[in-house]
Amino acid sequence: MIMKDSVVVSASPQRMGLYWTPDNSDRSTNKNSKKVRLRLVEKWLADYSKDSSSNPFILPVDVTIENDDPKKSRSASKWIFETVMKNSRFHSGELDSKIVEKGDDLVDSLLHGLSYVKWEKNRMILNMEMKESIDAVIETSDKMYLSHMKSLEFLDSKNNKKDIPLEETEKPKVKRSRKTSKRRTKIEETA
């Protein structure tokens, strides 16, 4: 049965990765972006056992995180995989050491889902703001951006300015592609 009002929305893995990576960090390679995403979920899970109110999602009460220090594990991906598998209703007993740990795939699945939920929430809020004025939309959009960047501050290894609030730092500069020397000259002249 096909629903008449169905909409298919593309969810690019690259855009999801960039969304969860701080603007100031080195996100030039997939490997760096992957490390940042693993670190983000690793921190959420490690912090969950201490204070669950700061997480962007709610876990069931019976979730147990035995080793709340991922640094003790061989890798972040393995630690995330083991934490999720030990709490899975489909898993019983000890984890087989031969199982390929795919913690990075679990991380990407979680972040895709959270990105979509945030996108829908923000879209709904901006639609309501459109009824007021375009200024309200711009103001709300800026607040959404700052709030999201603030939630990722701890991941930014290059910008460790703890005393400067995020609002006072510069917004990211857009990198322009340089396909030809002629185009590069035009970009440099306008700067």
**pTM over 0.75, yes/no:** no
> Is 20 contained in some domain?
no
Say how many domains are in the chain. Answer: 1
Taking only the tens place, the pLDDT of each residue in 103-147 is: 778 888 888 888 888 888 988 999 888 888 889 889 999 999 888
Average pLDDT score, the chain: 69
Tell me whether residue 120 is in a domain. yes
pLDDT at 29 over 80: no
- The reply to whether 179 falls in a domain is no
Position 175 in a domain: no
Residues 6+ apart with CB under 8 A from 27: 17, 18, 21, 33, 36
Domain residues for 96? Answer: 27-159
Residue 58 lies in a domain: yes
Q: Which two tokens stand for residue 42?
A: 């690793």
Quick one: tokens of 153? 């501050």
Task: Decide if 4 is inside a domain.
Answer: no
Q: Would the pLDDT of 161 be above 50? A: no
